Structure 1
Amino acid sequence: MAEFVTLETSQDHPGVGTIMLHRPPMNALNRQVQDELLAAAAEANDRDDIAAVVVYGGPKVFAAGADIKEMNDMSFQEMVKVGRRLQRGLGAISEISKPTVAAITGYALGGGLEVALGADRRIAGDNAKLGVPEVTLGVIPGGGGTQRLARLVGPARAKDMIFTGRFVDAEEALKIGLVDEVVAPDEVYAAALKWAGRFHGAASVAIAAAKAAVDQGLDTDLETGLKLEAHLFASLFATDDRATGMASFIENGPGKAEFTGK
């Protein structure tokens, strides 16, 4: 049983799974936490009762980075061996094919921000502080931060944050597109649950296809992305949900179909 990362569901929020980080006091992301994140993400992806996922660090802090004490004595040769494992662990949320949202309170720094960057959406408390301060340790973000941050906010803003290591407050994070919504700290989790709850009973196969088209398309040129979109679009004509959705539209108008996720 996982010690620091759990996957929780609630009857009050059907279809929503919460990946909870709990390693007090600051949710430092050591190798055990990274492995548990991967396991929780894989389980959430496989479970038919989960349509969307919230990742949450609790009411005080999201995660204040990787465990520096664990890294301090590692050699170059050792880090070469575990570097990709670090990226996969901190990027675990990005491997979920369902809608994901990071609920951020307090600090989301270094590896903590990298975990949040793997989500489709980020909701932050107005007390949030976000940053990638790895240069102050003599290194760079190694859990996907240089790549996902630049794709999200653009290379110039990403370089500013990475080069200086400065913290960004919630207002600036919203302005530059680093987060998508800012609420009071005690409303963060509820707001994330509300957004994730929209996908209970939705056309989950189509949503997974849409997510794949956007994410994979951004990693290639436009022509290749359009070919990917065409392939995924056509593939949905082999699903029950497509037949259900179109028949319902013709008979009853938009927005009334009841999908089965098949």
Structure 2
Amino acid sequence: MTDLQTKKELNDEYKNVKYILTSSMRTKLLLTIYESSKNLDELRTAIEKPSATILHGLKELENINLIRKSQKYYELTSNGYLLTANMVKLIENWYSINKNKDFWNNHDISDIPEDILKNMYLLKDAEYEYSTTSDLSNAFNKYIKLISQSTELKIIMPIYSENHFKHYIRLLEENKLKELELIVNRKIYDSIKQNSQLKQGLIKNKKVKIKCVNRDLKIFLTFSDEFMSLTLFFKDGHYDDSQILIAKDENALKWALKLLLYFAN
């Protein structure tokens, strides 16, 4: 198949998607039946529209093979289920991005792989914390509190920050932190080696594993069994320590682990 053919087919499919999404009735019907098959009375109660309006929408969806009627109940076809499942994902992605839009709009996300960006819905329960003029250390203090409650940490570290490193070393020395894995680039690793305290506390510490990558890093990701946190760079290339995204739910941890493994492998 040529690129031209692919583009034409995608444009045709876009028309079909637009046909669904530009109608609140068709969209509501798919989402309602996606939860479970429904009869007309149940659809009228759920959607709060008259029977004539609902039946018209059902007929339109039947004509494009997205729903079918089985006795008195309307259910999704296989095509309808697949389309609606992806529509739910689109809505959740939109919600997740919009919920923390200031965080995403302000930062460079180019280091996050496209296939991981497509699953932003996994971060829908993440919370955005930021520092203010009255509390310049709010984001950093939230971060330190989180890592102080963890026994294992895996971190993509894009900056050389003695302040961060010294907190990691303190937790290791206090035996609160049992294991630390750092992913850094060669420049940061060499800088750690040149600092005798950091070299002793990190490179020579048996509880610490350091992986060097041959690239600049643009994300600061911290992952543990209890939480994930993400800080990013401004679009002008400067690191932003004033805004942090934090989550503790299973979906967010799944998202963070996939991002971590992308850089670790």
Report TM bin, short chain: under 0.3
- Structure of higher CA gyration radius: 2
Higher share in strand: 2
Question: Taking structure 2 as the reference length, what is the TM-score of the superposition?
Answer: 0.24
